[in-house]
Amino acid sequence: MKRLVAALALLPMVATAQTNFEWAYQVFEEQLHEIDENAPRTVPGSDRSYTQVEIDDLFNPPDWFPDDHAPLPEVVASGDGEVIRACASCHLTSGMGHPESSQLAGLPVSYFMRQMADFRSGARVDRYWMNGIGEAISDEDALAAAEYYAAIEPIDWVGDVIESDTVPRSYVGDGRMRFRHPDGGTEPLGNRILEFPQDRELATARHPYSGFMAYVPVGSIARGEELARTGADGRTIQCAICHGQDLTGLADIPAIAGASPIYTVRQLNDIKTGVRAGPMAVLMDATVANLTDEDIVALAAYLATLDP
């Protein structure tokens, strides 16, 4: 508990206006699952072992499968030891990232570098980490990270996307991750999307290949598909025009297929409200201008069902 409070005190927070999508920005509430922080932990198929304290060392996160990837650039493996946390601590060695951060695997290098420049200038605001990292990182380190992640093929990360009126009761715990409440129970979903780890043990171990699942509102996937594919009579613009035929990216416009749905909600909301307004993000303005809150949730739900 002490460690947690200390970690929270370190968490930089950028003040931004409240929105109807606060649930997508996941703020730590409490940790309800008991964890023995000093017991060695292992994962199937890896001969390595780390305690939870080691797993949560943001300057030296676990590398469960070192033979699976190219050598980690120093900044990805351990940051700078001061301000810049290891990229792999939040985005994982696989670049698939948790829903509260983001996927980096397969992002075009020029898109990646533009985001780092936008975090540095403040044209794109992340409430938690990326602006501080963007200001502190050298171009050389940013490029090394961009090239490492660009070379990785994204994997299917959001497994089941389930339409439902009710969802398991949950809480946001360590790592700003959402977990099912240990006492069980259900609650209405409303116009929200909740993402849970497919395997809580593996996700809290920062396993590079253990993904998530999502609950989305009833009817949202079909509505999202209509919006994305047809523009729904001028409500929005067909995504494929810029994001490519399968929405897997076109030139340096990023993939949006298979993305974590709460990440997508944050981006559409941030672009619509001007929190993300970099030189290329403005190309999205006409796409988001007339979207309702339900439309944003529907688009995110639909994109999560697609292959990455």
Q: Say which residues have a Cβ less than 8 Å from residue 142's Cβ, sequence separation at least 6.
A: 75, 112, 113, 116
CB nearer ligand HEC, residue 39 or residue 151 = 151
Yes or no: say if 266 and 163 are a contact pair by the CB < 8 Å rule: no
The answer to whether residue 280 forms part of the interface with ligand HEC (CB under 6 A) is yes
- Closest approach, Cβ 172 to ligand HEC, in A, equals 13
Residue 264: C-alpha distances to residues 82, 153, 259, 277 (Å) = 30, 19, 7, 15
> Exposure pattern of 25-55 as b/e (b: 16+ CB <10 Å)?
bbebeeeeeebeeeeebebeebeeebbbeeb
Position among 196, 243, 260, 298 found at the interface with ligand HEC (CB under 6 A):
243
x/- string (CB under 6 A) for ligand HEC, residues 200-239? ---------------------------xx-------xx-x
- Report the distance separating Cα 289 and Cα 276, nearest Å: 13
CB nearer ligand HEC, residue 155 or residue 280 = 280
The one-letter code for the residue type at 150 is A
- Closest approach, Cβ 97 to ligand HEC, in A, equals 7
- Report the distance separating Cα 267 and Cα 124, nearest Å: 10
- Closest approach, Cβ 182 to ligand HEC, in A, equals 25
The answer to whether residue 21 forms part of the interface with ligand HEC (CB under 6 A) is no
- Closest approach, Cβ 39 to ligand HEC, in A, equals 24
- Report the distance separating Cα 289 and Cα 3, nearest Å: 43
CB nearer ligand HEC, residue 168 or residue 280 = 280
The answer to whether residue 281 forms part of the interface with ligand HEC (CB under 6 A) is yes
- Closest approach, Cβ 177 to ligand HEC, in A, equals 12
- Please give the residues from 28 up to 67 whose contact with ligand HEC meets the rule CB under 6 A: 58
Position among 43, 77, 105, 133 found at the interface with ligand HEC (CB under 6 A):
133
**Total residues interacting with ligand HEC, rule: CB under 6 A:** 49
- Closest approach, Cβ 141 to ligand HEC, in A, equals 7
x/- string (CB under 6 A) for ligand HEC, residues 86-125? -x-xxx--------xxx-x--x---xx-xxx---------
Return the structure tokens found at 270. Answer: 């941030």
Q: Say which residues have a Cβ less than 8 Å from residue 189's Cβ, sequence separation at least 6.
A: 164, 165, 166, 167, 215, 216, 217
Q: Say which residues have a Cβ less than 8 Å from residue 86's Cβ, sequence separation at least 6.
A: 58, 59, 60, 61, 75, 76, 77, 78, 79
- Closest approach, Cβ 47 to ligand HEC, in A, equals 26
The answer to whether residue 266 forms part of the interface with ligand HEC (CB under 6 A) is yes
- Report the distance separating Cα 306 and Cα 239, nearest Å: 13
Return the structure tokens found at 136. Answer: 């502190």
Q: Say which residues have a Cβ less than 8 Å from residue 296's Cβ, sequence separation at least 6.
A: 21, 265, 268, 269, 272, 288
- Report the distance separating Cα 23 and Cα 30, nearest Å: 15
Q: Which residues bind ligand HEC (CB under 6 A)?
A: 58, 75, 84-85, 87, 89-91, 100-102, 104, 107, 111-112, 114-116, 126, 128-130, 133, 137, 142, 145, 227-228, 236-237, 239, 241-243, 253-254, 256, 263-264, 266-268, 278, 280-281, 283-284, 287, 299
